[in-house]
Chains A and B, each alone.
Chain A
Amino acid sequence: MEWLVAIVIGVMTASGVYLVLRARTFPLVLGLTLLSYAVNVFLFSMGRLQVGQAAIISPEASGYTDPLPQALVLTAIVIAFGMTAFLIVLALKARSELGNDHVDGMSYVAEEQAPKSKADQT
């Protein structure tokens, strides 16, 4: 099972990193979202995997999983949302200020595909 989770983390990281390296803002934000899933699951897995041992104190419980990584990841999920929201609005702002959605602004667009960007805007 551990291998399965590790592979999932790895694949999410790889996809996330690939998207983060793209030249447009929207894929970049998606990439960061994927990457934050990967990071959250990675952090969570630092508490090792346990089945059916939620950290809810009760006399019937057979044991408890490590609650600390969970607490860290819980806030990380919320902060990741805040970051995603900030970034996507930054992307909108850049679009409105620069007229395109390239991560570096105007300069690269002209050489890549001048006619297409106009088509996109309509």
Chain B
Amino acid sequence: MLMDLLSFNLPLVALIPFFGAPLAAWAANINRVASAWAAGLVTLLSLIMLMPAMSIPFAGETLIQSWSWLPALGLDFAFRLDGLALLFSFLILLIGLLVILYARYYLSPGDSMGRFFAYLLMFMGSMLGIVLSENLIQLVVFWELTSLTSFLLISYWQHQQDARDGARMALAITGAGGLAMLAGVLIIGHIVGSYNLTEVLAAGDLIRQHDLYLTALVLILLGVFTKSAQFPFHFWLPHAMAAPTPVSAYLHSATMVKAGIFMLARLFPALSGTEAWGWLVGGAGMITMVLGAYTALFKHDLKGLLAYSTISHLGLITLLFGFGTQLAAVAAIFHIINHATFKASLFMVAGIIDHECGSRDMRKVNGMLKYMPHTAVLAMIAASAMAGVPLLNGFLSKEMFFQQAVTASGGNILTWAIPVLVTLGAIFSVAYSLRFIHDVFFNGEPVGLTKTPHEPPRFMKIPVDILVLLCLGVGMAPMILVAPILTVAVSASLQEAAPAYSLAIWHGINLPLIMSFIAMGIGAVVYFNRHKLFRWHDENLPRIDARTLFNMCLHGLLVATGKISRLFDRGSLQNATSWVLLSAVVAVVAGYLQFNSPLLGDRNLMAVDVLTLALAAFVILASVLCAVLHHQRLVSLIIVGVVGLIVSLGFVKFSAPDLALTQLSVEVVTIVLLLLALFFLPQHTPQERNASRMTRDVVLSVSAGVSVMLLAMAVMSRDYAPISDFFIENSKPGGGGTNVVNVILVDFRGFDTLGEIVVLALAGLGIFAMLKQLRLPAPLRDIQGREWSHDPHPPIMQTLTRLLFPLMLMVAVFIFLRGHNLPGGGFIAGLIAAVALISQYLANGIDWTNQRIRADMHVVTALGLSAAVVTGVVAMLLSHPFLTSTFTYLKWPLVGKFEIASAMAFDLGVFLVVVGATVLILVELGKLSHASHEMQQQERY
């Protein structure tokens, strides 16, 4: 059982949250807490699914589970579990659990729990999909799913303008970055010849030496930088703070923004090690780290401070990857863990303060120590970890970071800037961490709060307790708590054994330790002189409001694209259609000009016989008349019917009996339909005054007609080698039927037919929806001013149709049964049965017929679709491809040997859908006139 699970559990880990999302939404109907429970249990289930595979990465192996999807395009449904994926899955699932617990207490009664947890689970699934993907294209799909689901989460409070704006900005930036990443991944696939990580990670040298390396690198980094909020794309993150705090705690500590960092770690062996990598990744990381740390100090909003601090820490991790050494990768991955723990807890503290004080403004929220001592202690520890205070986890990774910065400065002046800038960033980091502690929990009394703050509910603090304990534990006993997972994650990221590193708390007095103390000392000085600095900042630095800029760009883009589309589309359908037709004609003419051979081929043409000539002359005349007489609508409708009937005669003549039958029955239904509709439309089309438009249209239609005629002639006068010989040869032995057209429909190309009947069913449903609320007044008089008859159901017609009904149904059954071997089949039989039913409705009225035919046409359509799909699925269950058919012969008494094919079941589905959709459409239209007649009756009396 365990071994079985190990062959398919990874996709389950990623997909269970998606399946759980509707469950959580539905559970909210029971009660609010049930929704949180459902979300928590789904997350646990996902975690349990991960459990059996857990030992594999620790043994130094990689678990890969893949299913071929479109092998020709290199698309596999493939999942991978190595140390890196395991580490991130843990972060996503465990912090996810804590966030769910926290959110259950955070959300107020007015917020929809179901919606929140459903979004959160979908986001969790997308993140798990990213970290567990083996196929890069699949990874990008999950990547974009995180953009979409984070949009839903950030805009959770939809009534707030800034939530909507922030969500839109995040979606635009990260979504666009995702597209760039897709392009980069495609280039990598082109270079390596595979989208699977196993091959890509082994092909680092090949990728780095390729001409397209730089393009691929830049495109992928665009995705990384937008997602991980690196300069200059960092501005979306602070605006995403409009989300509920549990969302921020989740998205901006362990998940969303870490996806970009994850990609750096994931593709490290494939892309790193070049100068371009160093400059691009290191440069962006350095700027982001310093800028983020500096800006964070000036944010008065608690969450704003944390947002910029997140940006700064992401910059730090990016910078570490930019150093490109193995030890730097160790430090980066270590800091990913540490940042996730202390930042998640700090966001939760910010949420608690917001929840209890009704404000997050640090100029108002002061002296909280005495109101919420427990929370205060937690916040102080977490913020100290963020500042890099010894004995906490942040200190360890920061020491490693300083060490790498010192190593990276090779000795010349330029590179000495690295440790200096790094220390500068650390100074501000200490200053804002100190502000988080001192400004909020000390610094006098609260200013102008609307409510008296107190400790939050016990369970709201538990997630913070756990995270803070982790900060402490990792800080004091790193070798026990974090070293095992860190080592396997690093070796998975590097694709080789992890380098020797030391997690000791004490390394003696060295340069990194001195840098730490400088940062703490100066950081404290900076903080306590902050008021001077705030003044200087406000007076001397220009304010750049990213949101205004972004909105201006967006508005400009909309205006520009609007102008472009208005060049072609001025809101007139006629103009638009004529443009489309004109370009089609131009395309055909251009095709002729390019075409070097003579227009006509040398196939022997058939001789014309008199009857065909006469019919053709008739249909030509009718078509022209239809266009000329179109102002008289009833007349032109009758002419269209004539054209359709002659077309079906043409099918008879040219060896297409199935088409003739179909055309004939569709013709009946179409004309009835159009007649029903015409009843409610004006009977006349007004004369047009615009002579130039008429001329244009005549020229356009004549040239379209001539083009199509020549095209048809060019084809018909040539011989060709069709692929149909296969169908003709295999129809009887393979499909068990002699009517090749029908066997193609239900067997060879059954999937196409399935698509077609789905379209038909959808058309029927769409019409039903449109007609549901429609009320149109029925005209009282016809076009010549005569009153419509009050007797809509003449007795002779009633009697006749009732007599005919069983006969027509029998014909339908007959046509259906013989369809596989002789002209007929589901489509035609369905249409005939529909005509039989409709004539009952027409002759006897809707009420009379509905009393006798109880079947709901929606159900009939649904049954038909199910029959068709089930036929296909049964083949799959017997491990054949979808819709594989089989047949056998039965001996029936009296009838004799009778062939029965599984395709018959499919054809039955077709039959039911055609009957259901057609009758639904016509009866709904009929009800329209029924309703308006009743309206008139009421008016009359």
Contact = CB atoms under 8 A, between A and B. Distances in A.
Contact of B716 (A49, A57, A71, A101): A49
B509 interface: no
Contacts of A42: 708, 711-712
Interface string A22-64: 1111110110011001101110111111111111111000001
Given A42-B708, A70-B658, A30 B616 contact: no
B670 interface: yes
B759 A104 contact: no
A30 B636 contact: yes
Interface in B759-782: 759-760, 763-764, 766-767, 770-771, 774-777, 779-781
A91 to B, nearest CB: 7
A55 B662 contact: no
A98 interface: no
B574 interface: yes
Interface string A79-94: 1111111101111110
A16 B925 CA distance: 25
Contacts of B918: 81
B731 A122 contact: no
Interface string A84-115: 11101111110110000101100100001100
Most chain A C-beta atoms within 10 Å of own C-beta, residue among B578, B657, B677: B677
B654 A71 contact: no
Contacts of B759: 79, 82
Given A33-B670, A89-B677, A103-B573, A18 B698 contact: yes
A122 B728 contact: no
Contacts of A93: 770-771, 774
Interface stretch (B171-179, B238-246, B516-524, B741-749): B741-749
B713 A120 contact: no
Question: Chain B interface mostly helix, strand, loop or mixed?
Answer: helix
Contacts of A96: 774-776
Contact of A12 (B623, B686, B821): B623
B798 interface: no
A34 to B, nearest CB: 6
A16 B627 CA distance: 8
B605 A1 contact: yes
Interface string B704-747: 11101111110111001011100110011000001111001100
Nearest to A46: B715
What size tier do the contact residues of chain A reach? Answer: 35 or more
A15 to B, nearest CB: 4
Nearest to B571: A104
A6 B724 contact: no
Contact of A48 (B716, B738, B744): B716
Contacts of B663: 40, 77
Given A4-B616, A70-B659, A96-B776, A37 B724 contact: no
Interface string B433-457: 0000000000000000000000000
Given A55-B740, A70-B659, A89 B716 contact: no
Contacts of B752: 75
B651 interface: yes
B3 interface: no
Contacts of B763: 82-83, 85-86
A55 B674 contact: no
Nearest to B706: A10
Nearest to B644: A37
Interface of A: 1-27, 29-30, 33-34, 37-38, 40-42, 44-58, 64-68, 70-71, 73-75, 77-86, 88-93, 95-96, 101, 103-104, 107, 112-113, 116-117, 120-122
Q: Which 3 A-B pairs give the minimum distances between C-beta atoms?
A: A14-B705, A10-B709, A120-B682
26 contacts: A2-B716, A3-B605, A5-B616, A5-B712, A6-B710, A12-B643, A13-B705, A15-B624, A17-B700, A22-B685, A30-B626, A33-B670, A45-B716, A49-B606, A56-B821, A57-B739, A74-B741, A78-B666, A79-B756, A79-B759, A86-B766, A88-B674, A89-B677, A93-B774, A96-B774, A101-B682
Given A12-B623, A57-B739, A92-B677, 19 more contacts: A1-B607, A3-B713, A5-B650, A9-B708, A9-B709, A11-B623, A14-B702, A15-B627, A17-B701, A22-B574, A54-B655, A55-B728, A68-B727, A77-B666, A78-B662, A79-B760, A112-B688, A120-B683, A120-B684
